[in-house]
Chains A and B, each alone.
Chain A
Amino acid sequence: MSEDRVEELLPAYVAGELSEEEERRVEEALAGSARLRDEFARYERLFVLLAAAAAEEVEVPHDLERRIARQVALRTYLGAAEELVAGLLGSYGRAIIYYLGLS
């Protein structure tokens, strides 16, 4: 397996997503190349950081639930009002056209 190909497989290798066969080949290549070992170490550092970020508590704003409820209510009213007006204007428009004998 070429060094470039192994390098491509490194992120999946660090994540433990390779087949046994692929893993074995990557390990062989790692043993024979200092550059690949360096790359491997960089990926390891990245994965440590990703794990730390995944574990980090992202604080949800305390009023989020209330805000969502308000927005959902407001937008439902607006949507319905819009529909109502469009419907009425449509009826009036048709009535006027009929009244003026344009149809």
Chain B
Amino acid sequence: MVFAGLLLLIVSATALPVLAIPCTLLVVCLSQIMGCGLLALALTKRFLFVAILPPCGRWEATKPMPDLSKVSELDDGFLVTRAQAGDRRAFSELVRRHQSSVYRVCYRVLGDREDARDATQEAFVRAFRRLDSFEGRSAFRTWMLRVAMNVSLNERAKRKELPSQDMLPDPLPDPEAEVIASEQVDRLHRALQLIEPDQRAAIVLHDLEGLTYEEAAQTLGVPEGTVKSWAHRGRRRLKELLT
């Protein structure tokens, strides 16, 4: 009976988290009936403390809380500390602040909007689960972009097919031309897919996202000189492909 209840719990939690709570109660009642009082107690306590309270942000409710109505004025470091304690509102604010930057990096690495959306979600889920490993040695943005970059590059490596070079037919416009047509920018995004992942990462972070070489090096976990050389080699490849 208890196992049946547990099965129900797993199924419901997988399908819909909302059902997890009533199902837990059901399991608790069933185990009470079966005379497993201690199990019921353990189950209730464990599920409440592990699954319900932290995501609701009540985990640290006894600690003094700053006025979260002004959450948008708090700095990243403080929000990270709150989020590390299980405060999902603090994490939501971090998501709100950094989602565009993360999405842009994913889009530029993956070259597809749908894939970029999925990768952005995955990156934030991973970041939330691994928040404890963020020690504040770099800015949260740098750390977050590193997670996003890893997710995107892994995702990219899984897909074998590459866009063909035939997709890059038109020559570049004259640098004097005032307006660069959006097709030209699309061509650049497609060409980015054809260069080495390391070079693409360096160009996306430095040339497109505007990180300094130092920040890009922190994001990629390599020395600054390496990022520079990746960027230079990547630009050479892009020049061959696009001009």
Contacts and interface: CB of A to CB of B under 8 A. Distances in A.
Interface residues of A, number: 43
B77 interface: no
Interface string A48-77: 111011101010110011011101111111
Given A77-B17, A83-B50, A54 B210 contact: yes
Interface in A6-61: 8, 11-12, 15, 17, 39, 41-46, 48-50, 52-54, 56, 58, 60-61
A29 B20 CA distance: 71
A54 B238 CA distance: 15
Given A72-B128, A77-B51, A60 B13 contact: no
Interface of B: 6, 9-10, 13-14, 17, 20, 39, 43, 46-47, 50-51, 54-55, 88, 91-92, 95-96, 99-100, 103-104, 107-108, 113, 117, 120-122, 124-125, 128-129, 172-175, 180, 182, 184-185, 188-189, 203, 207-210, 228, 231-232, 235-236, 238-239, 242-243
Interface of A: 8, 11-12, 15, 17, 39, 41-46, 48-50, 52-54, 56, 58, 60-61, 64-65, 67-69, 71-81, 83-85, 87-88
